[in-house]
Structure 1
Amino acid sequence: MSSLPCSSASHATALQSYIRTYANNTSTFQYNGRMLVSTFAGEGCLFGTSTLNQGWINAIKPPATKTSTFPAVWFVPSFFVDPATFRNLSVIDGAFHWNSAWPMGNYNVTFGPDQSYISNLGGNKTYMASVSPWFFTHYGPDTFNKNWIYRGDDWLWAQRWEMLVQNRSSVPLAEVLTWNDFGESHYVGPIEGIQPMSQGWVNGFDHQGWLDLMKYYIAAYKTGSYPAITKDRVFLWARLYPVNATAPDSVGKPANSAWTQDYLWAVTLLTAPANVTLTCGPSTQKTVVPAGLSKLKLRLSSSCAVNATVARGGGAPVQFSPAGFNFSVTPPSYNFNAFVAASPP
């Protein structure tokens, strides 16, 4: 809703058309017997009325007429408002906390922002949490003028999922941000289609290695139990350039760059205990890792190629040297995107 017009009654027509078109599509998510509808923003939308609440009622929950009815909607928007105002919005069936996915400062992610929404929604409305692996955007003043990071350190992708699994009884819905937002570096799908002038920090930085790890967490979030691990896997991600390096980049270093440190972040899924070795040039770390999921990290300090090995009983079921995973102390630009790799399934 930060792009769609919503000031007049006629502006609701487009939204109503979307809802009518997709309400009965077999791919449309139904929740509590209704079509789930959400937003990004929209708290400034009045649709020609005097209040936010009435404007959205007219737009997506119009009353039935003698000749037609409107599809039933379960409305869980991401309005950027004080959660204490939720009680004044009868139109909402819940609320989606977009910015719960990342810490908003130089600290680790917590469940506090989620709890604020949950408490203000009460027991009869639906809370939808967000989860995201990364955030970096690098647009200069001549384009979108967005150049900052949110803190993605300390295995944000894994820690956030574990938080949602632990609190699954109070988090009925979770949305992954986002499948294809290349400009903000939190895409998890393939790099396809037209990019919003983000090629400089996206091309060559495939994020699909996060998908199989997400699959493991999704199973736990849905069922309450982590699934059995049937094959040893290693998931690796890191920035490819030092935070304090200087680059020939007219856009400049992103705001909040001091919130991140130069580490390789690793998650292992092991069928049995093993020795896991992470190496990048002179930096190496060998750890005895138990069965199950473990989180490891390796300091990155010099130009090097990343390697991971899982060794057990004289064998090495995983020897992983991802192509292109090279840390360099001479960055061509201020690219704080994550390079992601997963060992073969």
Structure 2
Amino acid sequence: MFCSSLLAAVLLATSFVSAAPLKTRQAAGVPKVVVAHHIVGLTAAFTVDDWLSDIKAAQANGIDGFALNVGNDPFTTTQTENAFQAAEQLNSGFKLFFSFDMSSFPCQSADGAATLRSLTLQFASRPNQLTVDGKAFVSTFAGEACSFGQSDVPTGWRTQYTQHPETTGKVHFVPSFFIDPATFNTFSGVMDGDFNFNSGWPIDLHVAQAPALLPGVDLNNVVGTGGDVALQKFIGSFDTDNQHITNLASVANSAQTYMAAVAPWFFTHFGADTFNKNFIFDGDEHLWVTRWENVIANRDKVSLVEIVTWNDFGESHYIGPQHGQLPVGSDAWVDGMDHSGFLALTNYFATQFKTGTAPAIEKDLLVMYARPHPRDAKPADPVGAPTDFQLFQDKMWAVVLATADGQLTLTDGGANTQTFPVTAGVNKLSLPIAAGGIMHGTLTRAGATVVDLKPDFTFNPNPAAFNYNAFTASATSA
């Protein structure tokens, strides 16, 4: 119960800590909220101190709460209790809410809904439960096939959960149902809002569709041919959000609370002998930053942003530190692949989303990232190359949050070296990286070096196995 996004892929300036409870999206002065999807299924051995560590790290980087992705695990209640205890102990206003993993919970009989109601009510009155107008905020991963023994799915959710005598008037329900948004109108009495789980990635961009989606683009020769510009149309796009928001408005009596996703990366590499998942979504063209920018540009339509994810290591879209369990076998592409660079950028964009104003940059920040080996490497890997790996480019990616104008020099230690002008604010830059190359970035201003970042990294031409995860590094000025 760790790889939440598999089912999705197959089926198609005020911090919140001091704000009033969330109101509906249309209300004036609604505080914006940023949460991170936390896979509780990977926390079997967590103590309260482990939860304290995660909450402190998240809150220090502009994250207001965790969506507790829980499933049918024997430790679900214990670890939820530990998470709430940690949040209460900190007394910092950090919020928690359930994201029920309906690919894990049984949901074809009324008993399944009784389990969800029991969990909801057990924690609904805790002080750190995220609420909307006094109601417990609850989300899901999937659930579009759950009838709970009723005649159809909307009736099942309505009669057995949202409008059941035990929970009616007590839940603000914002599920992620993987359905055609045009059918949202059948969920009256169910959907108070919608979480568009897949909106953080360009999930419709596949190699098989590239000739139609990217006419004239050669995926083997993207750099310098205009192909990168064509790709940028898909990276971080708000198109599916608009579809969801438009159709959410057709749900009778819905509060229309819309929750968008942001995600930094995606790669998973499980063979047929385990979870049989081996594919990528394109994370190049500065997906993490571009998606944030597009959500911020449309912030009047969005109540909450959910980061996907804090700790889904098996799918490589984590931004939190590696601790707790790893899905069996995923250490091959997770160990040594630090994502703290993605986390380092989060506070800036989360703050801008919540306040509507870009925060002052007090220290220069340089973040660099790359995959650990060339796109077309051919290791003796029995699992084989992941589907759609050809979308990736052999580049290092750099983001500079600059206090003032300057210059950034990027080099792979060989023939690829370039100096770019940097302006105050956000700068997105990239440089090709050759096999055997390194990542080295130097930010200068008025002839002086202000940041010099050269992580322990080599673009390995002969990897032992396929690894399309991202290695990130970051540094700030003094």
8 A Cα contact 2:161 2:167, kept in partner: no
* C-alpha RMSD of matched pairs (Å): 1.5
Specify the SS of the correspondent of 2:439.
strand
| Corresponding residue to 2:175 among 77, 80, 83 | 77
Task: Look up the match of 2:449.
Answer: 316
Aligned-partner Cα distance in 2 for 1:296–1:103:
20
AA aligned to 1:200 is A
Count matched residues.
341
| Corresponding residue to 1:37 among 117, 120, 138 | 138
Deviation at 1:55, TM superposition (A): 1.1
Gap runs ≥5 in structure 2:
1-101, 207-230
**Higher helix share goes to which structure?**
2
AA aligned to 1:172 is S
8 A Cα contact 1:35 1:71, kept in partner: no
- 1:15-164 pair list within 5 angstroms: 15-64=116-165, 72-90=170-188, 91-104=190-203, 105-106=205-206, 107=231, 108-109=234-235, 110-122=237-249, 124-164=255-295
Q: Deviations over 1:254-294 (max 9, x none)?
A: 00011111111110011111111111121211112111110
Task: Look up the match of 1:13.
Answer: 114
8 A Cα contact 2:108 2:148, kept in partner: yes
AA aligned to 1:336 is Y
Aligned identity (percent) is 46
1:325 aligns with 2:423: no
Aligned-partner Cα distance in 1 for 2:118–2:356:
38
Aligned-partner Cα distance in 1 for 2:346–2:291:
11
1:341 aligns with 2:473: yes
- Closer, same or farther in 2 for the Cα pair 1:69/1:141, shift >3 Å? closer
Larger relative contact order, structure 1 or 2 (CA cutoff 8 Å, min sep 6):
2
Specify the SS of the correspondent of 1:252.
coil
AA aligned to 1:153 is D
- Over 3 Å off, 4+ runs: 68-71
Aligned-partner Cα distance in 2 for 1:338–1:277:
21
AA aligned to 1:114 is D
Aligned-partner Cα distance in 2 for 1:335–1:7:
38
Q: Which moved more, 1:177-186 or 1:326-335?
A: 326-335
Q: Which moved more, 1:210-219 or 1:104-113?
A: 104-113
Aligned-partner Cα distance in 2 for 1:30–1:265:
38
8 A Cα contact 2:367 2:398, kept in partner: yes
Q: Deviations over 1:108-142 (max 9, x none)?
A: 22211111101111184122111100000000011
TM-score w.r.t. structure 1 length? 0.95
AA aligned to 2:127 is T
TM-score w.r.t. structure 2 length? 0.69
Deviation at 1:196, TM superposition (A): 1.1
Aligned-partner Cα distance in 2 for 1:118–1:150:
23
Aligned-partner Cα distance in 2 for 1:188–1:82:
29
- Closer, same or farther in 2 for the Cα pair 1:254/1:171, shift >3 Å? same
Deviation at 1:317, TM superposition (A): 1.2
Deviation at 1:166, TM superposition (A): 0.2
1:280 aligns with 2:412: yes
Q: Which moved more, 1:213-222 or 1:297-306?
A: 297-306
AA aligned to 1:190 is P
- Closer, same or farther in 2 for the Cα pair 1:19/1:270, shift >3 Å? same
Task: Look up the match of 1:185.
Answer: 316
